[in-house]
Amino acid sequence: MDNAHLWLPYTQMKTAPEPLRAVRTEGCRIILDDGRELIDGIASWWTACHGYNHPHIRDAMEEQLAAMPHVMFAGLVHEPAQALAAKLAAKAPPGLKRVFFSDSGSTAVEVALKMAVQYWRNRGQPRRTKFIAFHHGYHGDTMGALSVSDPRGWLHGASSQYFPLQYHIDIPLDELSFSEFRDILDDIARSAAALLIEPLVQCVGHMRFHSADVLAEIYRIAKEHDLLVIADEIATGFGRTGYFFACEEAGITPDILCVGKALTGGAIPLAATLATEEVFGAFYGDELTMALMHGPTYMANPLACRAALASLELFEQEPRLAQVARLEERLREGLEPCRNLPVVRDVRVKGAIGVVQIDPQQVDIFALRSRFVEEGCWIRPFADVVYLMPPFVISDEELDHLTGAIHRLLSRSET
């Protein structure tokens, strides 16, 4: 068995080290084919919030697998989708009552963009086709989603000339920049359908934080300018920032909300775009041309819906948000000693997200990845951040092992 037929993501296949081969997962661990066990500090791209192979999710999926693994979702619906849509609507910020299912975060964003543009067209304002998005934002890898992601930097690779042009601006963080933000919106809002934001934490864009007050003020000013607001909670949703949804901390209800990643607890792909009745209402009419023309083949896959339902039940049956609060404290304690290291620029923690920002000139990120594996840790630093976004159920010992390894390796990696 070799990798002759594989093409890996974000990878220079010629120079990248051999990927490791995983054979099993268990709790918060990934087990490799040579028997080594790695403690997963990043929950498989932020999905496995209950750890791996949770029996409650597995049982639900096994039952669904026997009954109906899949059925198309046009003209047919099923109980898992109905129950999940109802549950998501109940858990989301108040007012987000309609749920459109899809299969990945990027698609959930594409759907949100289409909803926003057509919302205005259906309401007689067809020129509102642009989007206002923030520097350091990331909303997915497909064309539309990348067009609203930060165009500077590595994300776009060499293909950005194909994308529609959008407005990219800084997140306003103080009074002066808020007045500038308002001026910019005065100029451009009339040509824009919506403003997009990753609430509280811009994850792929170097794990940058802004406060709930800043988020609330951005929302207020966007609404003053009659913009739709799209919250991309694909990374922040399901407890990651300490609230079930990050928007809750700012007390806002976006017009459209995207979820993905941890929706099924990391068991199987599923994503969703939630909309208010106001947005849904703009599509509700006699003409097919007013309808939302989108429909992924595996939309609302029953197996995935059941996994998501089981995952949401776990948030009710087990003290997940309390675990996140504890994790926040322990991440703070564990990472704080890194602050004094010469290669470290900043240490910050929000919910179950711990970030050590380093000077990339002084640290070889790729070498560091291999060192972490040698320490029994699955931690994947990128750009200028070494970060942890572990499963919420990680034990104190496992977490301390991860934070200890970060401190130890960054102590050694001076110049």
Question: Catalytic: which of 119, 138, 219, 387?
Answer: 138
* CA–CA gap between residue 328 and residue 268 (Å, rounded): 27
For residues 212 and 252, the answer to whether their CB atoms sit within 8 Å is no
Neighbours of 221 (CB within 10 A): 19
Provide φ and ψ at 318, rounded to 5°: -125, 155
Tell me which residue has tokens 């017009």: 255
Does residue number 150 form part of the binding site for ligand PLP (CB under 6 A)? Answer: no
Residue span binding ligand PLP (CB under 6 A) among the ranges 94-102, 211-219, 232-240, 385-393: 232-240
| DSSP per residue, 4-42 | TT---TT--TTTSPPPP-EEEEEBTEEEETTS-EEEESS
- Among 49, 54, 73, 106, interactor with ligand PLP by CB under 6 A: 106
For residues 255 and 228, the answer to whether their CB atoms sit within 8 Å is yes
* CA–CA gap between residue 198 and residue 202 (Å, rounded): 6
* CA–CA gap between residue 252 and residue 264 (Å, rounded): 24
Instruction: Decide if 232 is catalytic.
Output: yes
Q: Which of residues 40-69 bind ligand PLP (CB under 6 A)?
A: none
Q: Is the dihedral of CA 64, 66, 69, 70 positive or negative?
A: negative
- Among 40, 110, 150, 198, interactor with ligand PLP by CB under 6 A: 198
Residue 404 Cβ vs ligand PLP, minimum distance, rounded to whole Å: 27
Question: Catalytic: which of 91, 97, 130, 261?
Answer: 261
Residue span binding ligand PLP (CB under 6 A) among the ranges 9-17, 98-106, 117-125, 359-367: 98-106
Complex with ligand PLP: residue 47 or 323, whichever CB lies closer: 47
- Among 199, 239, 260, 296, interactor with ligand PLP by CB under 6 A: 260
Complex with ligand PLP: residue 233 or 255, whichever CB lies closer: 233
- Among 48, 196, 228, 234, interactor with ligand PLP by CB under 6 A: 234
Does residue number 203 form part of the binding site for ligand PLP (CB under 6 A)? Answer: yes
Complex with ligand PLP: residue 133 or 193, whichever CB lies closer: 133
- Among 57, 61, 84, 109, interactor with ligand PLP by CB under 6 A: 109
CA dihedral 26, 29, 32, 36 (to 10 degrees): -120
Instruction: Specify the pairing of strand 353-358 against strand 228-232.
Output: unpaired
Complex with ligand PLP: residue 105 or 354, whichever CB lies closer: 105
Does residue number 353 form part of the binding site for ligand PLP (CB under 6 A)? Answer: no
Complex with ligand PLP: residue 353 or 379, whichever CB lies closer: 353
Residue 169 Cβ vs ligand PLP, minimum distance, rounded to whole Å: 18
Complex with ligand PLP: residue 203 or 388, whichever CB lies closer: 203
E strands, 172-328, in order: 192-197, 201-202, 208-209, 228-232, 256-259, 271-276
* CA–CA gap between residue 179 and residue 170 (Å, rounded): 12
Question: Catalytic: which of 40, 103, 150, 232?
Answer: 232
For residues 400 and 343, the answer to whether their CB atoms sit within 8 Å is no
Total number of residues that touch ligand PLP (CB under 6 A)? 15
Instruction: Decide if 186 is catalytic.
Output: no
Does residue number 310 form part of the binding site for ligand PLP (CB under 6 A)? Answer: no
Instruction: Decide if 162 is catalytic.
Output: no
What is the number of the residue whose Cβ is closest to ligand PLP? 105
- Among 132, 204, 274, 309, interactor with ligand PLP by CB under 6 A: 204
> Would you report the helix, strand and coil content of the chain in percent, each value rounded to 5?
40, 20, 40
Residue 383 Cβ vs ligand PLP, minimum distance, rounded to whole Å: 14
- Among 104, 118, 301, 323, interactor with ligand PLP by CB under 6 A: 104
Instruction: Decide if 261 is catalytic.
Output: yes
For residues 308 and 84, the answer to whether their CB atoms sit within 8 Å is yes
For residues 398 and 26, the answer to whether their CB atoms sit within 8 Å is no
- Among 41, 80, 105, 242, interactor with ligand PLP by CB under 6 A: 105
Contacts of 48 (CB under 8 A, 6+ apart): 25, 28, 40, 262, 265, 266, 391
Does residue number 232 form part of the binding site for ligand PLP (CB under 6 A)? Answer: yes
* CA–CA gap between residue 228 and residue 257 (Å, rounded): 11
Complex with ligand PLP: residue 128 or 139, whichever CB lies closer: 139
Complex with ligand PLP: residue 198 or 249, whichever CB lies closer: 198
Active-site residue list: 10, 138, 232, 261
Instruction: By CB under 6 A, name the binding residues for ligand PLP.
Output: 104-106, 109, 138-140, 198, 203-204, 232, 234-235, 260-261
